[in-house]
Structures are given as C-alpha cells and as structure tokens.
Structure 1
Amino acid sequence: MSVPMKPFKSQFSKFDYFIIGLTYVFFPLALIIAGFRILPTQQHHSFRGRNARLMGWVFFGSYIITSVIFLLASETSEEFLNDNLAMALCLLVPVMLLLVAAELADKKFRKLLSIYTEAVLQRRLIYIDHIAIVANQTPSHVIRDLNFMIKERMLPYGKIENGVLMIPSLHRESVKPAETQQDIGSKSVECSGCGARTVISPHEEKECEYCGTIIVA
C-alpha cells in the first residue's frame, strides 16, 4: 500500500499572521512574541522553515515602521536617507538571509521526507534506529518527523511504540521480540559497519541491508 506524497510547504498559522500584523502596531512586542513562538519548535524539522520565514517578515515589518518614524522625525531628506540606510543594513539584510534560510530548510526537509517515505513504504523498515541510520538523523528527530508525516497523512495511519513504527496497513503481523522471530539455530548479529542488527543462520554470510558490509555468523 502506498500513500500519495503531499508536497511539503511550511505555512503560517493565524497566530503567525497576528504576530506579523502586530509588527505594524508595536514592533518591539512582536519581536519578543516571535522569539517565544519559534524557540519551542526550532528542534522540529517541519517548523524550521516557518520559523525563519516568520522572523524574516517580522524584521521586514519592523523596517517599514522604523522608516516611517524616521521620515516623520527627520528635518531633511538627507538626514532621512542616512538614517534609513543604516536601518536597511540592520534589518533588510537579515530579512533576505532569513527568507533564503527558510527556503533551504523547506527544501532539506522535503528531501528528508522522501528518504523516510522510501524507507517505510518501500523498504518496510519499522525500527526507529534503522530508519535513523538510513536518514542520517538522531532517533528523536526521526520520531518527531514520522509523527508529523502520520499527522499530515504523508504516511498511512500508525504510531510509534518502544522504538518501533507500527503501521497496521503495511505490517499485518504484529511485531514480536527479536528472539521469537529467529529460526532455531539462528542468532542476531550486529553489523560491524553501521551497528544494525540482523538475523543470520550458522555459517551463513549475509550482506547488511543498510551499509553493504558482509556479516558472518
């Protein structure tokens, strides 16, 4: 069974738009609220693009408001231009950098989503540690990312329990402890290349499905 892959694009919530709108009313408060908004979610790959984009637009709004203030306070156009140039360097340069960083973060996460999709739907990997090796991510990041994919219906309905991804529609048989899955005489061997474990019979040679290292019982 496969699920059509929804293209990922980080989006603002109503609260994010409220923060951006607040910038044009009282930008110092908007900057503080935006900071508290992004700190708890920065560890989530799915929010990094949104966080950078949110801060970018808050900085842009701050630039617009400060420009208006300088325009009203300046006695000459030359004075306004000098003050506005300094403010542009302080705020508009970070705006451009943050918007570029947002696009890069979304692009990186889209690539990571395709890796997860291939690992789960095609290779049928179920152990978080194994998926983490394939994606080159920490297990905690993998758990957050897979929960996001399940929530957004990028994967079939399932849940993660004890380091195992349980998707009933893909894995009809319940996951049993490793010992009960082994044939008599077989044993679980750790790969010397990547550390993944695999079940192998006595005197058998098997290629590790994660890194290609030859494993000998």
Structure 2
Amino acid sequence: MITAGNMGGQALGSNGANSVKLPKYARTAFDYIIIAACYLFMPAGLVLALVRLLTSHYKNYRKPVNFSLLYHAFAGGFIEIIIFIIFLVSDQQYDFGGTGMLISLLISFGVLFLLPAAVFAYVAAVSRHDFSQLAAKYIQLAGDSGIRQTSRLSMETGQHERDVRRDLQYLQDCGALDFSMVFEEGGAAAAAGGMAGAGGPAPGSARWFAEQTSGVPQAQQSRQAPPQLAKSIRCTGCGAQNTVLPGQAKACDYCGTTIPYS
C-alpha cells in the first residue's frame, strides 16, 4: 500500500494548473518499518534499506524512496552513536581523553555518517525532481494530447515500455491520471503487423531494404517486369520451329536464318 501523504507533494498538470499532487515519497508500511529500524539499530536498518533498493529500484517512482531510506540509515547511525557517547560521558564511564579528543571523535563520526547521509539526501531530491518532471510529461501527453499507446509514450519520454506501464499505473493510483484512461500496448508491433498484413514488408526485413534501395515496391516491380522465358519461334526462312532464349538471337537449326527473340 502506497501512502500519499509523505511530507507534502508537488502539483502536476497542464501548465501547472492541475491541483493533483504526487506524494513526495511513495512510501509503504514496510518503508516506515525500515526507517524505524534505522534509528533503533542502524546495521539492521541499513541491510533492510539495501534489500529494498535491490528489489525495487527498477521502478522509477521507487528511486527517491530508496535513496531516502539510505539517508535515514546513515543519519540514524550517527544519532545512535551520539546517544551512546552522551550516555558514556554522563555516566562517567569513559572520558575519551579530554574535550579535544571527544570533539575529534565526533567530527570523525560526523564525516563517516553525515557525509553519506547528505549525499543520499541530495540524490533522493534529484531523483524526486526527475520523476516529477517525467510524471508531468506523462500527464501532458496522455491527458492533454490524448496519446494512449504505451509504445508512443515510450518514444516520447525515452523510457522503456515496461517502465511506462508501471509509471502510468502509479499515476492512476495517485489520482494524477484518471482511472478511466485505457492505454494500449504494442502499438509499434501492431503497426508493423498491419503493414505486413496489407502486403507491405515489415520494417527491417530484407524485402523492406530492397524496396528502400530501389524506391519501388517489389510487388510493383514484379508487375512491371515479369520474368522472360524461352519460347518457340517460327523461322522466317524455312518455317521450322526453333527455341530461342530471352535476350538472344539464334541461327535456325535447318536453314541458318538468324531468328531474334521477340
């Protein structure tokens, strides 16, 4: 189940006029469990975040969420270490060699955990922006331009057709696209099949390349130039029948008169 109220959203639609908002992060209940694990026990949270990334990162709308989970893993690890250090200092179990050493230790942990967290937070924001742009393009093409073929949308957006189908389903689930919209699959293949069924060659076939080279359909070439066969022609000298090959002249077998192919 995808929750739509994750830290606000971004308005999408025709020229920005549509009030429909996509969730900032399309998190599921399992994602919230991972975030909780990141702040309670960072190693387990990090492992779960990596598993989530490996199993769902092929979906465009999941990429911002997956990078956000990694951000929480490193941020949670830093917070856990700070709490542990505060506990040791307050309980006077360890003095860390003085204030200077403690500050150096905190800076080291900050670089080790907060720097990756900042990187993943930035990548998550960039991925969210990229998907918002892609979603706006889907809405423009499918909603405003009325394109319903996933193959056409794939060409227009530069996405694989499988990704297009997943993205459209997500946008319909979020309410950004109307559920009544029905999208057709395999438009390019159907067009090629229709051309072949109508007597035309499929693009990329040997017959198609031959026609492109000559500029004349092969079927038309066949009608224009039927194959010539050998035929029997009567000699004008003696009247005997002689077999003459196409494009050649032959001397009569009986009187020697030259018989042209005609």
Return the offset for 1:11. 4.1
> Where does structure 2 lack aligned partners over 5 or more consecutive residues?
1-13, 89-93, 204-262
Identical aligned pairs, as a percentage? 20
Q: Aligned partner of 2:152: which letter?
A: H
Residue 68 (structure 1) aligned with residue 83 (structure 2): yes
The Cα RMSD (Å) is 3.1
Q: Distance in 2 between matches of 1:181 and 1:117?
A: 29
Residue pair 2:172, 2:178 contacting (<8 A) in 1 also = yes
Q: Which residue matches 2:186? A: 163
User: Aligned with 2:132: secondary structure?
Assistant: helix
Per the alignment, residue 38 of structure 1 pairs with 53
* 2:35 is equivalent to residue 20 of structure 1: yes
Q: Distance in 1 between matches of 2:66 and 2:128?
A: 11
Report how many aligned residue pairs link the two structures: 175
Kept in 2: contact 1:44–1:141 (CA 8 A)? yes
Greater Rg, structure 1 or structure 2? 2
2:123 aligned with 1:108, yes or no?
A: no
Over 3 Å counting, the alpha-carbon distance change for 1:41 and 1:21 in structure 2 is same
Distance in 1 separating the partners of 2:21 and 2:184: 27
How far apart are the structure 2 equivalents of 1:50 and 1:134? 25
- Larger RCO (alpha carbons 8 Å, 6+ apart): 1
Q: Residues 6 and 98 (structure 1 numbering): CA distance in 2 closer, same or farther, change over 3 Å?
A: same
CA distance change for structure 1 residues 24 and 113 in 2, over 3 Å: closer, same or farther? closer
d(CA) in 1 for partners of 2:201 and 2:25? 41
The whole-number CA distance in structure 1 between the counterparts of 2:97 and 2:27 is 39
Where do residues 69-84 of structure 1 align in structure 2 (5 Å cutoff)?
Answer: 69-71=84-86, 72=88, 73=94, 74-84=96-106
Q: Matched residues in 2 for 1:148 and 1:11: separation?
A: 10
So what's the TM-score if we normalise by structure 1? 0.68
CA contact (8 A) 2:39 2:72 kept: no
Q: How far off its partner does 1:160 sit?
A: 4.9
CA contact (8 A) 2:74 2:113 kept: yes
Alignment of 1:91-170 (within 5 A): 91-157=113-179, 158=181, 160=183, 162-163=185-186
CA-CA distance at 1:180 after TM superposition: 11
The Cα of 1:89 is off from its aligned counterpart by 0.7
Task: State TM-score, norm by structure 2.
Answer: 0.58
**Aligned equivalents of 2:105, 2:160: Cα separation in 1:** 46
1:12-55 deviations in whole A, cap 9, x for unaligned? 33332322222333211111111112221111111111111121
Separation (CA, whole Å) in 2 of partners of 1:181 and 1:30: 53
Query: Is 2:79 the partner of 1:56?
Result: no
Which consecutive residues of structure 1, in runs of 5 or more, have no partner in the other structure?
Answer: 165-176, 191-217
